[in-house]
Structure 1
């Protein structure tokens, strides 16, 4: 379509809001009327030629008592929708009485087919009718949309001699006009646009990232494209156009089917209406309403290409509860088998569910086709590093990287989106890596590649130029190392989290003051026999402090046996808590003594050589939880955990050991670590020159100050 005509239609519809709705609606609410009315007028124009045929078919079906009439009425209308009311918008144009107009307009809306009814319901358009009637502007609004200066019909407007006055508006052009209106309204509502609208430059980059690396491998056939957080559907339609364009340029004939799910009612209505206006009624049926996380609309479907900008930094607590709660989720999308764990859980914290959308997509990959599946998804920085080893976020990263699905991550400039200025990243994933990419991940720092906008759109103050998009895509299509592109083995992002323990060292205080305090604690716990035991041991050992807790316990056990007192775990804890203090020069507290030959000394893992009763043995010590620490050991560490431990820990804490039962594997990705460039320090000559310059500027100042004081 001619761009001048395209823009004139957009501007005309945009102007209706100011002409009709001003002083009745605030600007942020114009879209609540204009978008659904644009949909209604286009559908009305499409249905006008077949109106009598549809009404005749409706009468025939009713007379025959046929209940399921949808298919026959669609066939009569020649569209994927219909309207069985006796009215068209032109019939309503001249209603003089507002109440009659209200009744007839509502009857007109009620006559639409169920798929259009759903759109109107999600738009909540019927809620606007009382306001429009009360302000006496509904008739004016309808009249504006029927204005002869614009044509929203698929047929051209001609004069009496048959000359074309206004060109026909085909489905694609109508869809483009509708998307332009959506974009303008989203940009007007900057505070909420980012929730469901991704800037077109970012969408184009994402589409190129999933299609161009496999452009030469696309064959004639059917391809399914999915967005699990589709918003207004713009990402899907751009992807459809790009894939069709690439297929045509390669001489391939492809059939593309779009699938999407959206939880916000209005944006869902827009996505479905957009496809209807484009004449893609079948695709509109693939747009589903509801939460992708807790109510997946495509549980058994697999897709060739997937792309999304899911909500980030947004709670998914409600979805989590619907799925059964963090401990009881059984959804196979989020609980799988991996790393010898039959219930490997990938459940993120409830405050941020963005990675859950990525897991959902990965569960829908095709594994039996040549191309497999390709995914592009926008995330903020927390997806790269939030979550400790063993936690949901880290488990997701581990699952992805160890399955070798992560192809690349691109860091975008800040202030790229409408409602946030934070750093954002595009993750590119595939289950069909090329041979050169297998076992590797590419990081691209495009954070400094942008052109400024002439006028800020909310937080968005920059965009990607066509050349910059091409540069980024070329680095992905032809992966190579540059200053801004680095390629790493998968293991570079993994680490072992090891728990470093140190022995508990206790000194026993049996002074009179401490014993009195212990008496009170025992009285409160109703443990008077234990208080008497402590005083007897104090008489035998003296007040102390005694720096060998083990020797103290030997005497205590002997006394307990002699007087028939059972030293239960609870009583030992009371003795330790009330009579002991940690002390660095005290002997380590024994936890377990192994029988001769039953254990081999392994000080790195807490098995130490000792001598008890004059005989050598192997012992374990009680760990001091206050001294417990953790270390991250890279998976690529030469010599593994033991070499790291001997080099980085033992020289400083010779009594430390590792608890092997608590070692976990984690993954995190740090752009800062790999792309950080420290600012060069100034040379001594530069510093000296600055000092001399300051001295010259202040020359005579001190004498002047002193002179004034005198």
Structure 2
């Protein structure tokens, strides 16, 4: 029976047994843990007698620490010391006796299995199943002789194979298929999906193949910070071991993972226990990677992950002290002469936080360093303005020359989402030919359609497609699907462009009344008297030089004994000033020119060289916030910011300048820009032929309609 048929068989148990007992969305609470229990039971059946015998001997000898001896007796990294096998419980007729025996059976599992059961919260389901008299029926269904969940084959009497054994990877595939179906039933969010095996295999080849010849015999650590059911880790382990063996090397691989979902965490741990890797299972940690990193000081050789995207991490952020008080060394670092360079992204999407967390765990003292493959959606490429957390993560990565390749995957390659997805490949030991460069690969057309959709997944990466993608990565040659760029191609300056504030002054009767009202409200009646004298001296206006008007005000104020404070100057500006493009700019500051200053250069940054009282001076104007604008200037712009400004801004706004203090560096990556293929315009004769065909088709139609109404 194929893995798909076994998945269908288990899926149908839910409808056969649990209908009318649970709503469909709750089937998983029973079916997933029962699948694990049956698998564990099948593995332990051949050594059950040996375990019970060893248990008796250890108890008689008063041995307290029995775990190692019992594991040796079972031949696995786990055991069950109850007197029952799962098949022994099917003959129990009384509900309460079955409940007690089944609970005793569960209690007999080793501590590592107990944690798995606890995370499933399976014991909470037993009263419901017993009350509905469904527990025995459920057990019998999982023991159906037509299905083999054991790793050992079921034989005929002549010892020929009746049912093949079920290896661990196939069992993992069955788990993933069941979880995918349950997620689909519950309309899970698009980000909460499992990575298809074809994508995982591609990711494994992308991190291992470029350094295949450099792998040496030894120990390697592999990590996934959003490990789900652990499938990505186990595929990576197999790929690394096989690749090393092909090159005559003997490697030992240790797996590490963290998962926040208790169900999938339980499955990942169960999978490793079933493989006899009890020590490895202890490296699977439960909890949030972002707010509760389980491996804060550990470094890894290889890392793969498919973190949740489009999913809020606000709760994690609050646990970490909020954005203002966050001091986690993974996300607040020293970079670009900034001791508090912040990588914290918006709380609405935490996928790049997982990437930053991984980058903090790279090995720096080994010849191979660390290689990373991580899945992201398109927002990680470009979301976030210059200086934002998202842009800062991209900047940190690219300026450290860690980004090797980004591969655009086909649409609908994942189970529960059809959106565009990308694999980021990173390394802190880039090959010489890759240093200072980034490769973008468009693999969106390299796929094989599925005969039947699996959720949203309607295609797969066949072996040829994966090989083609890896070959494009290894070749690193520019072509229709592969583009090579210098790191600086993704960088830009976000430049703030200012225009001067231009104010005219209206001293008409209506304007004076409005000012008197504003001055009275502000408690500045003395200023009203000053302004009345001003109007009498200067006339109604409008007066186009606010600075000259302000000088007159200050003179009148001195005569009246009124001190012109900053508050009063502001009241004059807001109460009398009116935006007027014909007015003179409002002066902010006047200073002496510096020795050797370039007047033309200074003008670009808002410092205008003039002569004042026949002496040289530098004047700076007040900016008009309503006219403030920004420009993105690529790092590769010939001549840089100044050349761009002279060409693109000054011809349209000759009084503009750059506020250098507000210039920020940003990074973004646009696949659309680099791989866009414009559709050729149709020939005029083709369009004309279509129009004439439509005319012929509709000829006489209007007469028929009107005639039918007579």
Query: Structure 1 354/708 Cα, relative in aligned 2: closer, same or farther at 3 Å?
Result: closer
The whole-number CA distance in structure 1 between the counterparts of 2:26 and 2:88 is 27
Counterpart of 1:182 in structure 2 is 176
Query: Structure 1 117/67 Cα, relative in aligned 2: closer, same or farther at 3 Å?
Result: same
Query: Structure 1 609/87 Cα, relative in aligned 2: closer, same or farther at 3 Å?
Result: same
Q: Which moved more, 1:671-680 or 1:624-633?
A: 671-680
Q: 1:370-381, aligned counterparts within 5 Å?
A: 370-381=367-378
Q: 1:663 offset after TM fit, Å?
A: 0.7
The structure 2 residue matched to 1:236, chosen from 230, 233, 236, is: 233
Q: 1:301 offset after TM fit, Å?
A: 1.0
Q: 1:504 offset after TM fit, Å?
A: 0.6
Counterpart of 1:625 in structure 2 is 625
The structure 1 residue matched to 2:358, chosen from 357, 361, 367, is: 361
CA displacement 1:118-164 (0-9 Å, x = unmatched): 111111111211121112121222233344455545666678x8846
Query: Structure 1 543/142 Cα, relative in aligned 2: closer, same or farther at 3 Å?
Result: same
3-state DSSP of counterpart to 2:323: coil
Counterpart of 2:139 in structure 1 is 142
Q: Which moved more, 1:204-213 or 1:261-270?
A: 204-213
Counterpart of 1:615 in structure 2 is 615
Contact 2:147 2:163 (8 Å CA) reproduced: no
The structure 1 residue matched to 2:209, chosen from 205, 208, 212, is: 212
CA displacement 1:354-380 (0-9 Å, x = unmatched): 101111111111122222111111111
Contact 2:7 2:178 (8 Å CA) reproduced: no
Query: Structure 1 615/14 Cα, relative in aligned 2: closer, same or farther at 3 Å?
Result: closer
Counterpart of 2:461 in structure 1 is 464
Q: 1:458 offset after TM fit, Å?
A: 2.5
Counterpart of 2:107 in structure 1 is 110
CA displacement 1:594-651 (0-9 Å, x = unmatched): 0355793310011102233343311111111111111111101111111111111111
Contact 2:502 2:582 (8 Å CA) reproduced: yes
Contact 2:593 2:609 (8 Å CA) reproduced: no
The whole-number CA distance in structure 1 between the counterparts of 2:42 and 2:174 is 20
Q: Does 1:414 align with 2:405?
A: no
Counterpart of 1:546 in structure 2 is 543
Q: 1:32-43, aligned counterparts within 5 Å?
A: 32-43=29-40
The whole-number CA distance in structure 2 between the counterparts of 1:673 and 1:158 is 60
CA displacement 1:220-239 (0-9 Å, x = unmatched): 21111111111111111221
The whole-number CA distance in structure 1 between the counterparts of 2:257 and 2:435 is 30
The whole-number CA distance in structure 2 between the counterparts of 1:474 and 1:340 is 39
Contact 1:599 1:618 (8 Å CA) reproduced: no
The structure 1 residue matched to 2:431, chosen from 405, 430, 434, is: 434
Counterpart of 2:657 in structure 1 is 657
Contact 2:76 2:274 (8 Å CA) reproduced: no
Q: 1:278 offset after TM fit, Å?
A: 2.1
Q: 1:49-68, aligned counterparts within 5 Å?
A: 50-51=47-48, 54=51, 68=65
The whole-number CA distance in structure 1 between the counterparts of 2:698 and 2:604 is 63
Q: 1:549 offset after TM fit, Å?
A: 0.4
Counterpart of 2:92 in structure 1 is 95
Query: Structure 1 15/709 Cα, relative in aligned 2: closer, same or farther at 3 Å?
Result: closer
Query: Structure 1 373/94 Cα, relative in aligned 2: closer, same or farther at 3 Å?
Result: same
Q: TM-score, normalised by structure 2?
A: 0.93
The whole-number CA distance in structure 1 between the counterparts of 2:414 and 2:95 is 43
Q: 1:482-501, aligned counterparts within 5 Å?
A: 482-501=479-498
Q: 1:690 offset after TM fit, Å?
A: 4.0
Q: 1:90 offset after TM fit, Å?
A: 3.9
Contact 1:365 1:373 (8 Å CA) reproduced: yes
Q: 1:59 offset after TM fit, Å?
A: 6.0
3-state DSSP of counterpart to 2:357: helix
Q: Which moved more, 1:700-709 or 1:403-412?
A: 700-709
Contact 2:506 2:543 (8 Å CA) reproduced: yes
Query: Structure 1 424/155 Cα, relative in aligned 2: closer, same or farther at 3 Å?
Result: closer
3-state DSSP of counterpart to 1:442: strand
Structure 2 unpaired stretches of 5+: none
Contact 1:595 1:617 (8 Å CA) reproduced: yes
The structure 1 residue matched to 2:290, chosen from 253, 270, 293, is: 293
Contact 2:505 2:546 (8 Å CA) reproduced: yes
The structure 2 residue matched to 1:510, chosen from 507, 531, 555, is: 507
Q: 1:455 offset after TM fit, Å?
A: 2.6
Q: Does 1:672 align with 2:672?
A: yes
Query: Structure 1 685/423 Cα, relative in aligned 2: closer, same or farther at 3 Å?
Result: same
Query: Structure 1 430/622 Cα, relative in aligned 2: closer, same or farther at 3 Å?
Result: same
Structure 1 unpaired stretches of 5+: none
3-state DSSP of counterpart to 1:326: helix
Q: 1:450 offset after TM fit, Å?
A: 2.6
The whole-number CA distance in structure 2 between the counterparts of 1:383 and 1:573 is 44
Query: Structure 1 538/60 Cα, relative in aligned 2: closer, same or farther at 3 Å?
Result: farther
The whole-number CA distance in structure 2 between the counterparts of 1:154 and 1:387 is 49
The whole-number CA distance in structure 2 between the counterparts of 1:74 and 1:245 is 28
Contact 2:414 2:456 (8 Å CA) reproduced: yes
Q: 1:166 offset after TM fit, Å?
A: 5.5
CA displacement 1:24-78 (0-9 Å, x = unmatched): 3455544332332232233334444555655566566667776554444434544
Q: 1:247-262, aligned counterparts within 5 Å?
A: 247-262=244-259
